[in-house]
C-alpha cells in the first residue's frame, strides 16, 4: 500500500481515504461519495482494529462480510480496498500508541477506557500507510472526529479531514454495523435514541435552554424504553467537548445507550438559527 501510495503521489494524483471496519452500509457509502469527487484515487480500508476494543467488548463477534463490502466499493468506484492483516498492522513486539489527551477523557472515553487510544493509533498508522491528501469520517462518531482532527493538527499530518452527516434508517435509527445485533424488539426500542434527540431539539426551539432540564427530559424518555440503560447523556461544546450549563448554537448533545447487550451512540448538533 505504501509503494502504491508513493507512486500515485509521484504521478501527481490526490489520494482520498475512508477508513472503516467493514460490514459496509449506506453511511459508509455516503463518506465514499464525499471523497470520490475530491480525489484521483479513492482508498477504503477495512480493518477491524483490535486495539480499540475492550477485553469484554465485541471484537470477536464484530460482523464481517468482505464479499458484500467489495461489491459496495466497486459500485462507489473505489480504486483500492486496503484490507490489512492484523499482524501486519501490529507487528510483534508492538509498543507505540497515540493518546489524544482531554478529548479522549470524556463521554465514550469514560465507559470505553483505551478505546480512543486504539482509534487514534490505528488512524495514525493508516495515515502513514495510505498517505492520503484527504480523509473522511462520519459525524455519528462525533467525538472520534474531534479526536482525529486534533491528532492531525498536533502531529502535523498534511491531510484535510472532512466529516459527513449522520445517515439514518427511514425510521430514524442511526446506521451502524452493530444494529445487526438487535432483535426485532430491541430494534424498536433503539428508536428512543433518535426520538430523545428530536425531543431535545424541539425543547430548545421552544426556548428551553437549561442543560439540566434537557438532560432530564432525555433521560425520562429513554428510561421509558424497557431494557434501555443509559451510559451517558452529554450536553457539551461541540469543539471543546466541555459541559455547558445552557444549550447554545452548536451545542453537541450526544448519547450512549445500551439496548440489551448492544451499546449504541447517537448525537445532534443544535442549530439555533434554523
Binding residues for ligand AMP (CB under 6 A): 20-21, 27-28, 31, 137-141, 164, 166-167, 174-177
Distance in angstroms (rounded) separating the CA atoms of residues 169 and 180:
13
Shortest Å, Cβ 205 to ligand AMP: 23
Which residues, 6 or more positions from 25, have their beta carbon under 8 angstroms from its beta carbon? Answer: 167, 175, 176, 177
Ramachandran sector of residue 243 (left: φ over 0; alpha: ψ -120 to 50; beta: rest)? beta
The total number of residues shown for the chain amounts to 274
Q: Which is nearer to ligand AMP, 116 or 137 (CB)?
A: 137
Query: Degrees (nearest 5) of the Cα angle 54, 60, 62?
Result: 90
Output the nine-digit C-alpha cell for 147. 479526536
Residues 6+ apart with CB under 8 A from 6: 131
CB of 212 to ligand AMP, least distance (A): 29
Q: Cα(39)–Cα(13) distance, rounded to whole angstroms? A: 8
Sequence-ordered list of residues with C-beta below 8 angstroms from that of 7, at least 6 positions apart, any chain? none
Are 209 and 190 in contact, with CB atoms under 8 Å apart? Answer: no
Peptide bond into 261 cis (omega under 30): no
SS3 36: helix
**Catalytic residue annotation:** 28
Task: Assess contact for 52 and 109: CB atoms under 8 A.
Answer: no
19: which DSSP letter? Answer: E
Amino acid at each position: 500500500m505504501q509503494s502504491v501510495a508513493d507512486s500515485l503521489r509521484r504521478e501527481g494524483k490526490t489520494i482520498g481515504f475512508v477508513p472503516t471496519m467493514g460490514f459496509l452500509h449506506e453511511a459508509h457509502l455516503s463518506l465514499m461519495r464525499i471523497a470520490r469527487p475530491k480525489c484521483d484515487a479513492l482508498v477504503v480500508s477495512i480493518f477491524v482494529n483490535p486495539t480499540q476494543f475492550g477485553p469484554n467488548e465485541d471484537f470477536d463477534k464484530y460482523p464481517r462480510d468482505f464479499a458484500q463490502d467489495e461489491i459496495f466499493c466497486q459500485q462507489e468506484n473505489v480504486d483500492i480496498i486496503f484490507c490489512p492483516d492484523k499482524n501486519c498492522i501490529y507487528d510483534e513486539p508492538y509498543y507505540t500508541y497515540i493518546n489524544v489527551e482531554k478529548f479522549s477523557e470524556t463521554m465514550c472515553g469514560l465507559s470505553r477506557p483505551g478505546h480512543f487510544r486504539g482509534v487514534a493509533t490505528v488512524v495514525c498508522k493508516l495515515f502513514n500507510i495510505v498517505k492520503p491528501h484527504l480523509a473522511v469520517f462520519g459525524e455519528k462518531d462525533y467525538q472520534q472526529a474531534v479526536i482525529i482532527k486534533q491528532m492531525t493538527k498536533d502531529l502535523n499530518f498534511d491531510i484535510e479531514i472532512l466529516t459527513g452527516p449522520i445517515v439514518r434508517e427511514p425510521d430514524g435509527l442511526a446506521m451502524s454495523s452493530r444494529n445487526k445485533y438487535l432483535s426485532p424488539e430491541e430494534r424498536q426500542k433503539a428508536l428512543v435514541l433518535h426520538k430523545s434527540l428530536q425531543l431535545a431539539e424541539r425543547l430548545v426551539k421552544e426556548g428551553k435552554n437549561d442543560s439540566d432540564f434537557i438532560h432530564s427530559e432525555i433521560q425520562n424518555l429513554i428510561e421509558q424504553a424497557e431494557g434501555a440503560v443509559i451510559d451517558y447523556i452529554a450536553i457539551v461544546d461541540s469543539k471543546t467537548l466541555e459541559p455547558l450549563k445552557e444549550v447554545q448554537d452548536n451545542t453537541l448533545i450526544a448519547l450512549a445507550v445500551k439496548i440489551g447487550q448492544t451499546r449504541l451512540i447517537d448525537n445532534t448538533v443544535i442549530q439555533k438559527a434554523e
